[in-house]
Amino acid sequence: MLRVRPLHFTSRLDSWGRLLTALGMVRTENDSGWQVFDAGLGRLALHAVPEGAAEDGSTALAVEVGDLAEFARRTNLAAAEDGTTPAELVAADHGDACRITAPDGFSFLADKAAHGAQCADADPALAVVGVWFTEDPASASRTLQQVGARPRPVPDQDDTADFTAKNGGVLMVRPASGAPRSGLGFEYDGGLEPLRERLASAGIQAGITEEAFARTLHVANPDAGAAAHVPATLWISQRHA
pLDDT in tens, 89-104: 999 887 899 999 999 9
Distances (CA, A) of 71 to 75, 77, 113, 149: 6, 10, 12, 12
Residue 69 domain flag: no
Q: Number of structural domains, the chain?
A: 1
**In this structure, are residues 104 and 84 in contact, taking their beta carbons and an 8 Å threshold?**
no
* Ranges in the chain, pLDDT < 50: none
Long-range contacts of 116-122 (CB under 8 A, 24+ apart): 116/1, 116/66, 116/167, 118/38, 118/39, 118/40, 118/41, 118/43, 118/168, 119/26, 119/28, 119/38, 121/26, 122/24, 122/25, 122/26, 122/38, 122/39, 122/40
Q: Does 104 fall in a domain?
A: no
125: in domain: yes
- 114 by DSSP, 3-state: which? coil
Provide the pLDDT for residue 156. 65
The pLDDT of residue 81 is: 83
pLDDT at 100: 98
Confirm if 47 and 10 have CB atoms less than 8 A apart.
Answer: yes
Pairing of strands 62-65, 2-4: antiparallel
Stated pTM of the model: 0.95
CATH number, position 200: 3.10.180.10
- Over the stretch 19-67, which tens digit does the pLDDT of each residue have? 999 999 999 999 889 999 999 999 999 999 999 899 999 999 999 999 9
Q: Which residues of 17-48 are buried (b: 16+ CB within 10 A; e: fewer)?
A: bbbbebbbbbebeeeeeebbbbbbbbbbbbeb
At 51, which amino acid appears? E
Answer yes or no: is 110 within a domain: no
Looking at the domain assignment, is residue 79 inside a domain?
Answer: no
User: Residue 44's pLDDT is what?
Assistant: 98
Beta pairing class for 87-92 and 95-101: antiparallel
Within a domain: 88: no
Q: HSE (CB half, 13 Å, CA atoms) of 168?
A: 24
In a domain, 52, yes or no: yes
User: DSSP string of 9-54?
Assistant: EES-HHHHHHHHHHTT-EEEEEETTEEEEE-SB-EEEEEE--TT-T
Note whether residue 105 is domain-resident.
no
Which residues does residue 183 pair with via DSSP β-bridges, in sequence order? 131
Is residue 169 helix, strand or coil? coil
Query: Domain limits at 58?
Result: 2-63+115-238
Element (H, E) at 92: strand 87-92
Rounded to an integer, what distance in angstroms lies between the CA atom of residue 94 and that of residue 221? 27
